Amino acid sequence: MNALVVAKREFETFLVSPTAYLIGAFFLFITGIVFSFNVVAHHQATLSPVFEVAGITLIFFIPILMNHLLVREFQRGTLELLMTSPVALWEIVLGKFLAAFLFLVVMVAPTIAYLFILIYFGQPDLPVALVGYFGLFLFGGLLISIVVMSSAMCTNRLTAVILSVALAAFLWLIGRLGAVFNGSVGAILTYLSSQYHFLDFVVGVLTISNITYFVSMIVAILYLTTHILKIRL
């Protein structure tokens, strides 16, 4: 599958990027502080506060780390070169997404140590923790799809970062407007909020509605990205 070839090439660029390691280290530093404070100060054997802070942190870290995904291709003129090979636009978009998502998994993986620490010293609710990780990866996937789309729309990395953070923050905060409007409008705004769905995962609530929200949003944004590339090319 050509998308996997694109993903492999893109993932290798993450592995040699100093920025990727710096962002990864900073992410672990922040989540480590939250974990230590929660366990030492509050004596709570739960990762829920870690997941919540990790989600907010990723709103900024993922755009900074992954803004190059398609911007670089436009700047170097390599996207046109890719198009001369038997690779469809959707395969390029999917490959970029998969590479970024795989690196997200690598970046988050060390936090599993927090779970083992809780298991050793206490009795954490494992299903809640696993649901939390599942939700974090779904939310991260949504953020990555936003970054892929933003990088397809912009001509430089700084613009892509600003647009990505703005869109991610908008989806995170739009649920606040749900309390302002009554009836179906308020319900729609609340449903569109990524925060509304993500926080359910944080506390261990696993529902088809929440899974459907993230999966459908990711698919829709990547589909839109493909059409944006068609227009730009």
What are the tens digits of pLDDT across the range 184-224? Answer: 888 888 889 999 999 999 999 999 999 999 999 999 999 99
Q: So where are the chain's domains?
A: 2-232
More confident residue, 58 or 81: 58
**Mean pLDDT of the region 75-101:** 77
Say what the pTM is: 0.92
Q: Is the pLDDT of residue 119 over 70?
A: yes
DSSP 73-132: HHHHTHHHHHHHSS--HHHHHHHHHHHHHHHHHHHHGGGHHHHHHHHHHS---HHHHHHH
Q: Is the confidence at residue 70, as pLDDT, over 80? A: no
pLDDT at 164: 94
Each residue of 39-67: pLDDT tens digit?
777 777 789 999 999 999 999 999 998 88
Q: What is the pLDDT of residue 170?
A: 93
Q: Who wins on pLDDT, 37 or 45? A: 37
Residue 75's pLDDT is 62
